[in-house]
Amino acid sequence: MRGWIRKLEAIAAAAAFAEQGEWQMARSILHESEKRTAQRQTDRVRQPRTRVRDRSYRV
Protein backbone atom coordinates (compact mmCIF):
# COMPACT_ATOMS: atom_id res chain seq x y z
CA MET A 1 0.00 0.00 0.00
CA ARG A 2 2.81 2.38 0.86
CA GLY A 3 4.47 1.85 -2.50
CA TRP A 4 1.22 2.53 -4.29
CA ILE A 5 0.77 5.83 -2.44
CA ARG A 6 4.34 6.90 -3.25
CA LYS A 7 3.81 6.10 -6.92
CA LEU A 8 0.55 8.09 -6.94
CA GLU A 9 2.27 11.08 -5.31
CA ALA A 10 5.03 10.99 -7.92
CA ILE A 11 2.49 10.91 -10.74
CA ALA A 12 0.56 13.82 -9.22
CA ALA A 13 3.73 15.88 -8.82
CA ALA A 14 4.76 15.13 -12.40
CA ALA A 15 1.30 16.13 -13.64
CA ALA A 16 1.51 19.44 -11.78
CA PHE A 17 4.87 20.25 -13.35
CA ALA A 18 3.62 19.19 -16.79
CA GLU A 19 0.63 21.53 -16.50
CA GLN A 20 3.01 24.42 -15.96
CA GLY A 21 5.04 23.46 -19.02
CA GLU A 22 7.98 21.98 -17.12
CA TRP A 23 8.21 18.82 -19.21
CA GLN A 24 11.79 17.95 -18.34
CA MET A 25 11.12 18.22 -14.62
CA ALA A 26 8.01 16.02 -14.94
CA ARG A 27 10.00 13.39 -16.82
CA SER A 28 12.79 13.47 -14.26
CA ILE A 29 10.31 12.99 -11.39
CA LEU A 30 8.81 9.93 -13.06
CA HIS A 31 12.22 8.55 -13.95
CA GLU A 32 13.44 9.02 -10.37
CA SER A 33 10.43 7.20 -8.92
CA GLU A 34 10.99 4.30 -11.34
CA LYS A 35 14.65 4.06 -10.27
CA ARG A 36 13.65 3.93 -6.60
CA THR A 37 11.14 1.17 -7.28
CA ALA A 38 13.73 -0.88 -9.14
CA GLN A 39 16.27 -0.34 -6.35
CA ARG A 40 13.80 -1.48 -3.69
CA GLN A 41 13.07 -4.65 -5.63
CA THR A 42 16.76 -5.52 -5.92
CA ASP A 43 17.23 -4.80 -2.21
CA ARG A 44 14.46 -7.24 -1.36
CA VAL A 45 16.11 -9.95 -3.43
CA ARG A 46 19.47 -9.38 -1.75
CA GLN A 47 18.00 -9.30 1.75
CA PRO A 48 18.83 -12.52 3.58
CA ARG A 49 15.95 -14.54 4.93
CA THR A 50 15.98 -14.59 8.72
CA ARG A 51 14.41 -17.25 10.79
CA VAL A 52 12.25 -16.06 13.64
CA ARG A 53 12.77 -19.05 15.94
CA ASP A 54 15.33 -21.79 16.05
CA ARG A 55 12.89 -24.35 17.37
CA SER A 56 9.23 -25.13 17.05
CA TYR A 57 7.54 -25.51 20.42
CA ARG A 58 4.47 -27.33 19.17
CA VAL A 59 3.57 -30.54 20.94
Per-residue pLDDT at 30 exceeds 70: yes
SS3 assignment, position 25 = helix
Task: Give the pLDDT band of residue 52 (cuts 50, 70, 90).
Answer: low
Largest CA distance in the chain: 67
User: Residue 7 and residue 46: Cα distance in Å, rounded?
Assistant: 23
- Of 51, 47, 37, 53, the C-alpha closest to 5 is 37
Give the pLDDT mean for 7-25.
Answer: 89
> Residue ranges of the domains in the chain?
14-40
Q: 32 with 6: CB under 8 angstroms?
A: no
